[in-house]
Chains A and B, each alone.
Chain A
Amino acid sequence: MLNLAWLIPLFPLTAFVLIIWRGRRLPGEGAYVAVAGMALAAVMSIGILFNMLGHAQPIDMNVRWMTLGTIPLELGIRVDQLTTMMLLVVTVVGSMIFTYSIGYMHGDPRYPRFFAYLSLFAFSMLLLVLANNLLMLYAGWELVGLCSYLLIGFYFEKPSAARASMKAFLTTRVGDFFMFLGILLIFIHLGTFRFEEIFAKVHDGALKDLTVGGWPLLTVAAVLLFGGAVGKSAQVPLHTWLPDAMEGPTPVSALIHAATMVAAGVYMVARTYTLFFASGGQEALHVVAWIGGITALMAATIGVVQDDIKRVLAYSTISQLGLMMMGLGVLGYTAGMFHLMTHAFFKALLFLGAGSVIHAMHTNDIKDMGGLSKVMPSTYWTFLIGTLALAGVFPFAGFWSKDEILLEAFHHNTALFAVGALTSFLTAFYMFRVIFYTFTGTQRSHTAHPHESPDVMTRPLWVLAIFSAFIGLVGAPFLGNPFHAFIHFEGIEAIPFDVTLALGSLAIAGAGILSAAAVYHWKVIPSASLRRAAGPLHTLVVNKYYFDELYQVVFVRGTLWIGQALRAFDVYIIDMLVNMVGLAGVGLANLYGWFDTHIVDGAVNLVGYVVGATGGLLRYWQTGRAQNYLLVIALGVIILVAVGLLR
């Protein structure tokens, strides 16, 4: 079965081609074809899972694509445990989201195109996950970026959506640029793109003593690669695109910006972990961990004050991604990947539930909602399960994965542990704030008439809820932690389970829930007083730490200013030069014209005038009068005689 793994991306690709080609004439206007493609991919992924669990060996397959001089460029796939996990996540969550979209996007004028783009995205993501060399990984990376652009800007008539898609693309592009530099750096020194060969050479110490620009080469390369992850996984400082990406339809937010694409960065760090691990003093890992930690905390603080339900979830995603990065950074390889898997399920669930709510209430603002638990029970219960999972409550999935990250942090870097703990508290707080605003109490909006979503939307919610509830158990220590056995990194020792820490993290979650209840449910502490107490901190957080404003002023305005300066240069100086040439030509032409008219023509006219004048003078010689002639004769005689006399 592993040998056929290359078929997996082709199912959604075929679906994409078919939908683009035939579109509405396909069954279900293309939706069923897309779902079928995804389902087939899921089935095959499950098959591969069983093979891997049956101790099959990881495989690597290559096909030569072209040769650059002496260097062959190859397409290849690698199927190992990490790949299997990612395949499962992408295909299973994807299938659920595709099914949900049938109901959510119902009635949209561009319905088939939506599914075409979703299928294209699935193909790209699977390609990325299966890649066994950096070049193919980068190709998949760029393709998911393209699909993200297309899908965020799906409602392109809305200028905010168009701007958001552009912002997403450009911001991730910055990260991609650094990643490409890292890829090139590795390629120049090792001469190959393939992971196997790279890791083997690094293991043998190929790059150990090399430096570039005074820094150790391996660290620089690893950090550059991480730059791509910073963009794609929305870490600080390239996180600004993810909240704006909520302009896209909710299934898109669920699939791309919660479960899979943003996880690609985390996946890439995990895939190239050897480089990070082998970098001198593991400095690259420190960079990863700290950026992850800062992101996690910052995003969590912003999430507390958001009123748009999708924005809350977006900032939550950023925060959780930061947590995953932090986990990877503190040598918690297994923990980070575990959290990626569980997060995919419960975040997708939360987004789809939010979509259900938005679909019913026709608004995103939680302040307008309320009391939906009675009207939309399926949505409510699944959303609650997802929230509990996210908050890290036993026995839901998030508890196991988050606890492992905190464990690793506690053992390797207590400062980051504190950051992680505070983040967990805030996560619980803001998620339950959303629950209290949205589902409990009475409905605050007077115009909406919410009703439960159709089955095609609620059934995937329940499937994801079941996963969110129980998937964590694959990492449960009392079951032997099979996940760890499945996915682990050679060279990192496993840290044994610590009950006290587990209880501590549970307590933190509980504290968060209780605080949220105190402020928003029982209204013991009014939120207004909290706002006043926080004062300047509140302003800072509400304005998202002014990142957008900073980028606007520095980069956007800067680029526009450069563009305008260049345009001014072009218009005034270059065009001026061109116009000068033109004017000079015109001036010369005028000069020539004047010259021609006055001097050349003047000469000609002068000749005519002289002739005329001479004629006018000479005509007096022949008057026709005999007496004049006689006078001339007499004068002639005088002259002759005078001449004769003088000689």
Chain B
Amino acid sequence: MPVGLTHYLVVSVLLFCLGLYAMLTRRNAVAILMGIELMLNAANINLVAFNKFVAPAALSGQVFALVVITLAACEAGVGLALVMAAYRNLETIHVDEINVMKW
């Protein structure tokens, strides 16, 4: 059958859930950020797919996807800077060892 919207949406969901899984279960802070990137990518796929199949004339989907990519880059930069700063101060990047405020 021809590749339709649903296919792309399914791929996007799977990618999103993989990213969620990484966020939930990884100890390494960088790995969590990688998961975040996956989730953002999944969202992007969604946007672009909808743009093509539902509202092709306005191109707002693609515009939105570009903005998202930009912001993802910013966020990755800042996040990684935070990880580095945390590593410098706390000597670890495993998030479950950073428990100064934990009970």
Q: Which residues of A lie under 8 Å from residue B96 when comparing CB positions?
A: 625, 627
Residue B103, interface by CB 8 Å: yes
Residue B76, interface by CB 8 Å: no
Give Cα distance in the complex from A596 to B23, angstroms.
55
Partner of A627, one of B95, B101, B103: B95
Task: Write the nearest CB–CB distance from B98 to chain A, whole angstroms.
Answer: 9
Task: Write the nearest CB–CB distance from B62 to chain A, whole angstroms.
Answer: 27
Give Cα distance in the complex from A623 to B99, angstroms.
10
Give Cα distance in the complex from A625 to B102, angstroms.
7
Q: Which residues of B lie under 8 Å from residue A627 when comparing CB positions?
A: 23-25, 32, 95-96
Closest A residue by C-beta to B99: A624
Residue B93, interface by CB 8 Å: no
For this complex, into which size category does the number of interface residues on chain B fall?
Answer: 10 to 19
Q: Which residues of B lie under 8 Å from residue A63 when comparing CB positions?
A: none
Task: Write the nearest CB–CB distance from A630 to chain B, whole angstroms.
Answer: 6
Partner of B103, one of A623, A626, A631: A623
Closest B residue by C-beta to A634: B20
Q: Which residues of B lie under 8 Å from residue A625 when comparing CB positions?
A: 95-96, 99, 102
A623 and B23 form a contact (CB under 8 A): no
Give Cα distance in the complex from A321 to B58, angstroms.
160
Q: Which residues of B lie under 8 Å from residue A623 when comparing CB positions?
A: 102-103
Q: Which residues of A lie under 8 Å from residue B25 when comparing CB positions?
A: 627
Residue interface mask A603-647, B partner, CB < 8 A = 1: 000000000000000010011111100110010000000000000
Give Cα distance in the complex from A624 to B23, angstroms.
16
Report if A630-B24 is in contact (Cβ < 8 Å); known contacts: A625-B95, A625-B96: yes
Task: Write the nearest CB–CB distance from B18 to chain A, whole angstroms.
Answer: 13
Q: Is the interface of B mostly helix, strand, loop or mixed?
A: helix
Closest B residue by C-beta to A620: B103
A619 and B20 form a contact (CB under 8 A): no
Task: Write the nearest CB–CB distance from A612 to chain B, whole angstroms.
Answer: 16
Q: Which residues of B lie under 8 Å from residue A634 when comparing CB positions?
A: 20, 24
> In B52-103, which residues have CB < 8 Å from any A CB?
95-96, 99, 101-103
Closest A residue by C-beta to B25: A627
Count residues of chain A with CB under 8 A from any CB of chain B: 10
Give Cα distance in the complex from A631 to B99, angstroms.
18
Give Cα distance in the complex from A634 to B103, angstroms.
23
Report if A630-B102 is in contact (Cβ < 8 Å); known contacts: A625-B95, A625-B96: no
Q: Which residues of B lie under 8 Å from residue A622 when comparing CB positions?
A: 103
Task: Write the nearest CB–CB distance from B31 to chain A, whole angstroms.
Answer: 11
Give Cα distance in the complex from A142 to B23, angstroms.
121
Give Cα distance in the complex from A630 to B101, angstroms.
17
B24 and A626 form a contact (CB under 8 A): no
> In B9-38, which residues have CB < 8 Å from any A CB?
20, 23-25, 32
A624 and B101 form a contact (CB under 8 A): yes
Q: Which residues of B lie under 8 Å from residue A624 when comparing CB positions?
A: 99, 101-103
Give Cα distance in the complex from A472 to B99, angstroms.
139
Residue interface mask A185-222, B partner, CB < 8 A = 1: 00000000000000000000000000000000000000
Q: Which residues of A lie under 8 Å from residue B32 when comparing CB positions?
A: 627
A630 and B23 form a contact (CB under 8 A): yes
Give Cα distance in the complex from A626 to B36, angstroms.
14
Give Cα distance in the complex from A630 to B25, angstroms.
10
Closest A residue by C-beta to B102: A624
Closest B residue by C-beta to A637: B20
Task: Write the nearest CB–CB distance from A628 to chain B, whole angstroms.
Answer: 9
> In A51-104, which residues have CB < 8 Å from any B CB?
none
Give Cα distance in the complex from A631 to B25, angstroms.
9
Q: Which residues of A lie under 8 Å from residue B99 when comparing CB positions?
A: 624-625
Closest A residue by C-beta to B100: A624
Q: Which residues of A lie under 8 Å from residue B102 when comparing CB positions?
A: 623-625
Task: Write the nearest CB–CB distance from A165 to chain B, whole angstroms.
Answer: 97
Give Cα distance in the complex from A83 to B1, angstroms.
162
Closest A residue by C-beta to B17: A634
Give Cα distance in the complex from A630 to B23, angstroms.
8
A619 and B103 form a contact (CB under 8 A): yes
Closest A residue by C-beta to B26: A627
Q: Which residues of A lie under 8 Å from residue B101 when comparing CB positions?
A: 624
Closest A residue by C-beta to B32: A627
Task: Write the nearest CB–CB distance from B38 to chain A, whole angstroms.
Answer: 14
Give Cα distance in the complex from A622 to B32, angstroms.
20
Closest A residue by C-beta to B96: A625
Closest A residue by C-beta to B20: A634
Task: Write the nearest CB–CB distance from A263 to chain B, whole angstroms.
Answer: 115
Give Cα distance in the complex from A625 to B23, angstroms.
12
Closest A residue by C-beta to B103: A624
Closest A residue by C-beta to B21: A634
Task: Write the nearest CB–CB distance from B15 to chain A, whole angstroms.
Answer: 15
Give Cα distance in the complex from A624 to B97, angstroms.
12
Task: Write the nearest CB–CB distance from B10 to chain A, whole angstroms.
Answer: 16
Give Cα distance in the complex from A631 to B32, angstroms.
13
A631 and B24 form a contact (CB under 8 A): yes
Q: Which residues of A lie under 8 Å from residue B103 when comparing CB positions?
A: 619, 622-624
Task: Write the nearest CB–CB distance from B74 to chain A, whole angstroms.
Answer: 20
Q: Which residues of A lie under 8 Å from residue B95 when comparing CB positions?
A: 625-627
Task: Write the nearest CB–CB distance from A641 to chain B, whole angstroms.
Answer: 12
Task: Write the nearest CB–CB distance from A254 to chain B, whole angstroms.
Answer: 114
Task: Write the nearest CB–CB distance from B94 to chain A, whole angstroms.
Answer: 11
Give Cα distance in the complex from A624 to B102, angstroms.
5
Task: Write the nearest CB–CB distance from B28 to chain A, whole angstroms.
Answer: 12
Task: Write the nearest CB–CB distance from A645 to chain B, whole angstroms.
Answer: 15
Closest A residue by C-beta to B27: A627
Closest 8 CB pairs of A and B: A624-B102, A624-B101, A631-B24, A627-B24, A630-B24, A630-B23, A634-B20, A624-B103
A-to-B contact residues, CB < 8 Å: 619, 622-627, 630-631, 634
Given A626-B95, A630-B23, 12 extra CB contacts under 8 A: A622-B103, A623-B102, A624-B101, A624-B102, A625-B95, A625-B96, A625-B102, A627-B25, A627-B95, A627-B96, A631-B24, A634-B24
Can you list 11 A-B contacts (CB < 8 A)?
A619-B103, A623-B102, A624-B99, A624-B102, A624-B103, A625-B95, A625-B99, A627-B32, A627-B95, A630-B24, A634-B20
